[in-house]
Amino acid sequence: MTLCPLPLNTSAPLSGVVPFEVVGGTQSGPGSFVIPGQSAPGCTFDAPEGLLLDWITLRISVNELPPLLQERLFANLDSVCAFVLDGQGNPLELRWESKRLNFDALRSDAPGLYMTVTYVGAECFFYLGASPASLTQDCNVFGSLDIRAGADAIISHARRCFACWLPHLEDWECCRLDVTGNYALPDAAMVKTALRTLLQTDNARRKATSAKNGGDTVLWSPTSDRFAGKAYHKGPHLRYLAEKEQIDLDPERLALADRLLRLELRVGSRFFREIKNSKRHPAFAGRPWHNFTRSELAGLHRAFFGPLVDGVEVRNMGRVEAIALIAAANGISEGRARAAYGTYKAIKDSGLDEVKASMAKRTFLLHKMHLLAAGYSDADLCAGNVVQFKPIRIVLAQPVSGWDDLRKAA
C-alpha cells in the first residue's frame, strides 16, 4: 500500500465536507489520519535561513470545528487514513486501518501531514502535525523560522485535504516546535566523528542510539516534554526516504547532505503549558505562541545546545580519549574499555573476519557492543586505514542556510 494525499476539491465550498466511504472505526479511542505532503497553494516561505522550524504540532477543540467535520472525525476514531494507488498514481480506494498514532514519537523528518483526534480529560481535541518545509518544498532539509508562515502552511493544507473551513491559526494551541540547525562538515566521516565527540559532552542524561542506527544519532533528555535535543547525520535518512520514493532528491544533493550534522531542539507541550501558568520562561510568559520571533526561537536553540556543542572541537581521537569515551558510554572500567579498543585497533589492522575468528564469540560480541554504545558504527568496524583530517570547531552561530551555502562550504 502506498499513501497519497487526499484528493483536493478546489471547487467545493469551504463550509462543507467531501463525503467518503468508511469501513470500521470506533468511538473508544484516539483517531489518526496520515496524509503525505503536498504543497498548499498560496503558502510561501521567506528565503531559507540558518535555522528552521522542522516540526509544528497544533491542536484545537473539536467543538470549534464545523459540525460536518466533527461528525466525520468522530465516526473514525482510532483509525489511520490511507489510499491505494493505481499504476498512474491515482487513488483507487480508501482504506481504514485500526492503528494509533503517537504524535510525540513522530520524527520531524516524517514526510506529510498528520492528524489525530484524542480526548484530554473530558475534552476532545483535533491535532495537526507536520514539517512546514516538507509541505512546501521537496524535502525539509532547509526552511524558515517564521512560525506564522509554518502554521499557516499546515492549516491551509488541512483545509484543502478536508475541503472545509478550519479556524485561523490564532484559535489553535501549539503543542510542539522543533527548531533545527544544519552544520556543514568536510565529509561523512567527520560527521560520524563529531557525533562520537558529542557523546563526551557533560550531560548526565545523554545516550547513544542502538547499533541498528549505526551511531548516527545522539540524544539529550529524549523523554522530556519540555526540552529535548538530538544531533544526527542527515544524509543516511534522506537516502532511506529517497529509496522509499517518499522524497525526490538528485544524487548531487544526496551527496551534499552526507556532510550535514543536524542539531534539533524539540520544544514540548510542558513548555507551552508553563508559559500560560507560570513565570518559568519570562521571555515567553503570557504571550501567544504565534507571536514568537525568529530571534527568540533561535535563542531557545542556542540556550539548549550552547553548553553542549558550541565550540566543540572535532578531531581524530587519540588512544587515551577513545578509551575514556568507551568507558563513559558503557559505565565500565578502564581495563574493559581498553580491551574493547584493542579489538577495534586489531580490526583496523587485520580485518574483521580474522579478528572475529581469533576471539571467543562472547568476548567479540561484548567488545562490539561496547564500541557501538560509544558511537562507533558498523562501518567503522572494518579493515582500512584511519582517515586523518584537520580539527574543526562546531560554531552554533554559523549554520548553513541552503544548498548553495552548503556547496560553498565544500
Helices (H), 16-112: 67-74
Q: How high is the pLDDT of residue 201?
A: 60
* pLDDT tens digits, one per residue of 370-407: 887 776 766 566 544 343 434 456 666 678 888 888 88
The distance from CA 353 to its chain's CA centroid, rounded to whole angstroms, is 36
**DSSP label at residue 127:** E
Q: How high is the pLDDT of residue 317?
A: 61
Q: Is 187 helix (H, G, I), strand (E, B) or coil?
A: coil
Q: How high is the pLDDT of residue 36?
A: 39
**C-beta separation of 106 from 114 below 8 A:** yes
The lowest-confidence range among 44-53, 66-75, 349-358 is: 44-53
The distance from CA 250 to its chain's CA centroid, rounded to whole angstroms, is 21
List the grid coordinates of 58: 497544533
Q: What is the mean pLDDT of the chain?
A: 74
List the grid coordinates of 220: 539529550
The lowest-confidence range among 14-23, 80-89, 163-172, 310-319 is: 14-23
Which of 81, 77, 181 has its CA nearest to residue 126? 77
Q: How high is the pLDDT of residue 380?
A: 62
* pLDDT tens digits, one per residue of 102-155: 677 778 777 778 888 888 888 889 888 888 988 887 778 888 899 999 999 999
The predicted model gives 353-374 an average pLDDT of 85
Taking the C-alpha atoms of residue 306 and residue 396, their distance in angstroms, rounded to an integer, is: 7
Taking the C-alpha atoms of residue 31 and residue 100, their distance in angstroms, rounded to an integer, is: 7
* pLDDT tens digits, one per residue of 298-337: 999 988 888 777 655 555 566 777 788 788 878 889 899 9
Q: How high is the pLDDT of residue 173?
A: 95
* pLDDT tens digits, one per residue of 38-61: 333 333 333 336 799 999 999 999
The distance from CA 95 to its chain's CA centroid, rounded to whole angstroms, is 27
Q: Is 135 helix (H, G, I), strand (E, B) or coil?
A: helix
Q: How high is the pLDDT of residue 95?
A: 46
pTM higher than 0.75 for the full model?
Answer: no
Q: Backbone dihedral region of 284: left (phi > 0), alpha (psi from -120 to 50 degrees) or beta?
A: alpha
Phi, psi angles (nearest 5°) of residue 153: -60, -45
Q: Where does 139-235 show beta strands of DSSP type E?
A: 173-184, 207-208, 217-220, 227-233
Could you give the C-alpha distances from 286 to 121, 152, 276, in angstroms and in order? 24, 22, 5
* pLDDT tens digits, one per residue of 142-177: 888 999 999 999 998 888 877 888 999 999 999 999
Taking the C-alpha atoms of residue 90 and residue 83, their distance in angstroms, rounded to an integer, is: 9
Q: How high is the pLDDT of residue 273?
A: 92
**C-beta separation of 259 from 187 below 8 A:** yes
The lowest-confidence range among 74-83, 87-96, 222-231, 278-287 is: 87-96
Q: How high is the pLDDT of residue 241?
A: 83
Which of 134, 198, 146, 155 has its CA nearest to residue 60? 155
Taking the C-alpha atoms of residue 39 and residue 136, their distance in angstroms, rounded to an integer, is: 5
The amino acid at 162: F
